[in-house]
Amino acid sequence: MIRRIVLVLVVLGSLLVPAGATAAPLAADCQFVLGFKTLHDLIPQVVGDCKTNEQYNPQNGDSLQETTRGLLVWRKVDNWTAFTDGYRTWINGPNGIQQRLNTERFSWEKDPVTTPTPAPASPPAPTYAWRAQLVSWASNCGTTFMYGHVYDRNGNPVDGISVKSWNDWGNEYVIGSGSDPNRGTGAWVRLVNKDNNPQTWYVAIVDGAGNLASQPFTVRFDADCGSGAQEVVLDFHES
């Protein structure tokens, strides 16, 4: 009789574990940046630690980042940053952090009632020759701009590497590292405008044919020049 009970418990336990389930490894060099970092720092116990870096979803323009407790989402449709554990959502909106069910919406939200999920499974991500690293961001009530340096795998600044920046309105700019005389070898700079308005740009290294040589990095500028980001420092390192 005791043996039969033990066997039943073993069978039940095996049914509770999905076939092939394994613990997802944590990304060794992932980090939270900009709006995702702000939301994480406000509710760190809810969000948990990062599992991946922020990913841009070209299908809808959203940005996603997986964490140990769920998913961070920046929604292009209404420019709000949120976190979901699959059942509840914490959103950093006009009234600060508010919590609701995934099946609910606040009156000021513009997206339809859907549960944000990561992009469908796809082939392994391509291996890029360069990687972006956010150095810092700061408020600036004058010019909105971004700049940085390009380094080879030995950590030396290098000239002649193409840095492309673009937005969702078809504006594209390509500049070479070393083109910014004020910041020395390997430096690049992109002046966006002299207005403080919310806008999103993407930055990446491209090769001579214009193909991506690094994963695009999303830069979101804020309207509030007293506490938001209008000056972003972004470096690129050879992998």
Asked if 147 and 180 count as a contact pair (C-beta separation under 8 A), the reply is yes
Read out DSSP for 163-210? EEEE-TTS-EEEEETT--TTT-TTEEEEEEESS---EEEEEEEE-TTS
Residue 119 has pLDDT above 80, yes or no: no
> Given this model, what pLDDT does residue 6 score?
35
Asked if 62 and 44 count as a contact pair (C-beta separation under 8 A), the reply is no
The length of the chain, given as a count of residues: 239
> pTM of this prediction?
0.52
- To the nearest whole percent, how much of the chain has pLDDT over 90? 37
Cβ neighbours of residue 237 closer than 8 Å, sequence gap 6 or more: 130, 131, 133, 151, 153, 155
Residue 16 tokens, joined: 């509770």
> Given this model, what pLDDT does residue 173 score?
94
> Given this model, what pLDDT does residue 74 score?
87
Residue 70 CB burial class (10 angstroms; 0-12, 13-18, ≥19): buried
Question: What is the phi/psi pair of residue 22, to 5°?
Answer: -135, 160
- pLDDT tens figures, 10-68: 333 443 444 444 444 444 578 888 889 988 999 999 999 998 898 888 777 788 899 99
State the average pLDDT over residues 229-237. Answer: 92
> Given this model, what pLDDT does residue 184 score?
93
- Tokens 């059942």 correspond to 87
- pLDDT tens figures, 54-111: 888 877 778 889 999 889 988 887 788 889 988 888 988 888 888 888 888 888 787 6
> Given this model, what pLDDT does residue 157 score?
96
Residue 176 tokens, joined: 């070479």
Residue with the bigger pLDDT between 28 and 123: it is 123
Round the average pLDDT of the chain to a whole number and report it.
81
> Given this model, what pLDDT does residue 21 score?
42
Amino acid (1-letter code) at residue 90:
W
> Given this model, what pLDDT does residue 85 score?
85
State the average pLDDT over residues 179-188. Answer: 93
Asked if 217 and 206 count as a contact pair (C-beta separation under 8 A), the reply is no
Strands 88-93 and 96-101: antiparallel
130-238 CATH, one of 3.40.50.720, 3.10.20.30, 3.40.50.1820, 2.60.40.10:
2.60.40.10
Question: How far is residue 91's CA from residue 130's CA, in Å, rounded to a whole number?
Answer: 33
Measuring CA to CA, which residue among 211, 99, 232 is closest to residue 164?
Answer: 211
> Given this model, what pLDDT does residue 111 score?
64
* CATH 2.60.40.10 placement within the chain: 130-238
Residue 200 has pLDDT above 70, yes or no: yes
Residue 2 has pLDDT above 70, yes or no: no
Residue 116 tokens, joined: 């944000």
> Given this model, what pLDDT does residue 185 score?
96
Asked if 158 and 185 count as a contact pair (C-beta separation under 8 A), the reply is yes
Residue 182 has pLDDT above 80, yes or no: yes
